[in-house]
Amino acid sequence: MRIGIEINGVLRDTLKKIQEVYEKWFIENRFDDDEEPKGEVFSELNSLEIMKHLKFKDEDELYNFLYKEYTMEIFGHAGSKEYNGMNDFNDFYLDMREEHDIIVVSDEIGKSKPASLFFLSKFGCLTENVKFYSESTINYLWDSVDVLLTANPNLLLNHPSNVEVIKYETSYNKDINTNHSIQSIGELKSKLNKLYD
């Protein structure tokens, strides 16, 4: 079986890092105290709809922030979603790699790909298989996995019937009903054993 584990929201706490970097560069770092901050936080960033939480002039400014100006700082230097998340993932990988193909997957654009590889390297990810996809190559993702562990609401709601999704529970997907969910990477092996034994 081919098991995909998503980076964002499962292994990496991307949203927390986006807010930290935004506050640092758009609010706190000003040339003088009289200068108005160029950003504004409307609410804690707890969903994938970033512009509802953080002030950007338009989609282009958000894109530049994420994928041109602060890409490594956000995607490379974000923290782990769980304190021991990568260790638990590596244990899962070592236990399951003989019977299954374990694939780390991520929705990435441009420079966020090398930044994500840096993140995986920094936390000591042991898997050999990493696949990046985008909106235009989403079918490539679905053709690559039989089971996907994800926190992404779009993937949880829109997946082919032949792919089983497991929801990694977060604040932004708690209202989505799925057949299978976990709250930590450490639960994944037992969840799969219940599904397929």
Name the pLDDT band for 83 (thresholds 50, 70, 90): very high
Dist. CA 39–CA 27, nearest whole Å = 6
Whole-structure pTM value? 0.93
Q: Are residues 114 and 175 in the same domain?
A: yes
Q: Are residues 86 and 168 in the same domain?
A: yes
Q: Are residues 86 and 61 in the same domain?
A: no
Q: Are residues 57 and 22 in the same domain?
A: yes
Q: Are residues 101 and 176 in the same domain?
A: yes
State the sign of the Cα–Cα–Cα–Cα dihedral 119, 5, 47, 182. negative
Quote the domain boundaries for residue 174: 2-13+80-196
Give per-residue pLDDT as tens, 35-61: 677 889 999 999 999 999 999 999 999
